[in-house]
Amino acid sequence: MSFDFGQMVEHLIGSVYGSSSRRDVEKKQDDVLYDAAIVGYGPAGGVMATLLAEKHDLKVCIVDPNIEKRWIPNYGVWVEEWESLDRSLQIGLGDCLDRTWEVTDSFFGGSHGIPTSERCRIKRPYARVSRDKMQANLKTRLAAAGVTKIASKVDASTVKHTAEGSTVELENGMKLSCRLLVDCSGHYSELVERDGVNNPGVQIAYGAEVEVKDGHAPYDEKAMLFMDYRTDYINPEESSPEEQRELRDIPTFLYAMPMGKASNGRSKIFFEETSLVARPPIAFDLCKERLYKRLKHHGIEVTKVVDEELCYIPMGGPIPKLDQRVVAFGGASGLVHAATGYMHVRMLAASRGVAEAIATELKSGGPGASRAAARRAYQALWSAKAKLQRDFHVFGGEFLMAQDTSILRGFFNGFFKLPLPLWAGFLSGYPNLPHNEHQQEWYKRFAFGFQFFLKLAPAVQLKLMAAGALNGWRDGLIRSVSPMSILEDSQDLGFDAEIEAIRLKAAATEADSAVSEETDGNRGPGSDVTPESGPQISDQSTTKELMTL
């Protein structure tokens, strides 16, 4: 008796699905219309899928060619913000922290009369998010909520929108249908249209989690090192003029997280040399070279490299067009803080409002639900107030990337001399985060800027005044700190009317289509007019490419 492996597989599939035909199984899978299809499975995609499925009971799938891959970056967060988000979202964030420090230290000495040894200590707890814990937590929640994972890549050129939703073809040959397409694929999305030329600054960092021989003095093992902008690790007498110019004109700082003791008793620490923002970005190799020169200068001997990390974060640039059908979220939506590079907590702060906006419109149903859901999601992301606040950040980012090391030392030395609620509000810089109330109105941003200006060294003040005079209009500063903001804010007053107009237009189009269809039907046989249909499902996919969590 011959052995037919294909027949055996077909029989097994039939026994599971109640049919002996593999093609019947394909049709079962292809007939699925998802409420939301999430493109990209990083933290943003995982959180959005969790909220839509778990909190709003929508039918959701996630598409990613590397859907089981370990998430790459480590995230640092202020504990106050993380705890606030944990209370708000209720998706288990409180169990995802790796390590917490009660204080953070920074060093800005070497310029403006600031001693090299002077330490800026901030009594505000900081923590590292465990990427593994967060990924495992969301994976469990997605499975419980019935979210489907599809291990394939979206072909952006095949996206089509109809009145009922969207379709897109995948590299595996499958055609996916959904009521709303949500793009969480990252900063360089192929699915999202941006409102302008995309030329952001970029934050670059080389990081390494290491074991060290005799501790890591002069840094306190009980403190998280937030910024060390000193350049005394390079001896001017032993370096070339070119190296000195590079050190001055291409600023980088050290960021470090003490991680306790390894099993062999040695100290563990995560070091990261970072270029805050530059255009074009600097080289990873330069960051790595500077990191090890710093460690050598301080007598910190690395005995083992446990893990390495390369960080590349676009900052600034245009936000997505707010009237498009594909909803951008996470890096694709411009949520990165344009002056600091923070995104993780900002993504989480935006997630609840975006998920509620999507669910509200899709559950309402009726004509125009898909388009209305996309528009309401973008309104939740980028209200007029949020856009004006972002303009303020964009000016800050453009200013910072144009400065040398000395000016940046003076800038941050003054920044952290402000009252904590003021600087914390700027660093968070997004609705629903602690202290953001100090930044949401134009006059509060103006007051913040005035107080900040008074804390700065004269050389930094001159640079800031020049940037405001030359680039304040272009980079959004004038609009964000003047009564002009009131005009921008007023645009949101008509938002509900805009949604109603979307619904009415869709209803009118549907009515016209019904009349046309009835007329065509009365023509009898031979009519060559075919009524427009909604999203159709291809029968070219196979069940092995669908994995339910």
Give span(s): CATH 3.30.70, the chain.
Answer: 201-315
Number of Cβ within a 10 Å radius of residue 470: 10
Question: What percent of the chain has a predicted confidence (pLDDT) above 70?
Answer: 88
**Contact by Cβ (8 Å): 273, 233:** no
The CATH number of domain 201-315, selected from 3.40.1710, 3.30.70, 2.20.25, 3.90.228 = 3.30.70
Q: Which residues pair with 80 in a beta bridge?
A: none
Answer whether residue 270 shows pLDDT above 90: yes
pLDDT bin (cut points 50, 70, 90) of residue 520 is low
CA distances from 234 to 170, 253, 323, 364 (A): 52, 13, 51, 63
pLDDT bin (cut points 50, 70, 90) of residue 72 is confident
Answer whether residue 323 shows pLDDT above 60: yes
Instruction: For residue 5, give the nearest of 151, 13, 548 by alpha carbon.
Output: 13
Residue carrying the six token digits 């049919």 = 19
Q: Which two tokens stand for residue 456?
A: 């700065």
Q: Compute the average pLDDT of residues 460-479.
A: 95
Answer whether residue 167 shows pLDDT above 70: yes
Answer whether residue 440 shows pLDDT above 60: yes
The pTM (predicted TM-score) of the whole model is 0.88
Answer whether residue 522 shows pLDDT above 70: no
Q: Compute the average pLDDT of residues 134-139.
A: 97
Q: Compute the average pLDDT of residues 126-140.
A: 97
Instruction: For residue 427, give the nearest of 531, 361, 342, 310 by alpha carbon.
Output: 342
H helix intervals, 145-275: 241-249
H helix intervals, 241-283: 241-249
CA distances from 136 to 47, 482, 549 (A): 12, 46, 12
Task: Give the span between the Cα atoms of 384 and 487, in whole angstroms.
Answer: 9
Task: Give the span between the Cα atoms of 154 and 212, in whole angstroms.
Answer: 44
Q: Compute the average pLDDT of residues 207-228.
A: 93
- What's residue 74's pLDDT? 82
Class of domain 34-78+81-95+129-198+317-492: alpha beta
Q: 218-227, 397-406, 407-416, 538-547: which has the minimum mean pLDDT?
A: 538-547
Task: Give the span between the Cα atoms of 49 and 65, in whole angstroms.
Answer: 16
**Identity at 15, one-letter amino acid code:** S
Number of Cβ within a 10 Å radius of residue 514: 11
pLDDT bin (cut points 50, 70, 90) of residue 525 is low
Task: Please compute, for residue 525, the number of CA atoms within 13 A of its CA located in the half-sphere on the CB side.
Answer: 0
Task: Give the span between the Cα atoms of 430 and 95, in whole angstroms.
Answer: 23
Answer whether residue 43 shows pLDDT above 70: yes
**Contact by Cβ (8 Å): 58, 49:** no
For residue 218, cis peptide bond before it (omega within 30 degrees of 0): yes
Give span(s): CATH 3.50.50.60, the chain.
Answer: 34-78+81-95+129-198+317-492
Question: What is the per-residue DSSP string for 328-381?
Answer: E-GGGGT-S-TTT---HHHHHHHHHHHHHHHHHHHHH-STTHHHHHHHHHHHHH
Answer whether residue 448 shows pLDDT above 60: yes
pLDDT bin (cut points 50, 70, 90) of residue 23 is very low
**Contact by Cβ (8 Å): 395, 480:** yes
Q: pLDDT tens digits for 253-265?
A: 999 999 999 999 9
Answer whether residue 5 shows pLDDT above 90: no
Q: Compute the average pLDDT of residues 126-149.
A: 97
- What's residue 523's pLDDT? 57
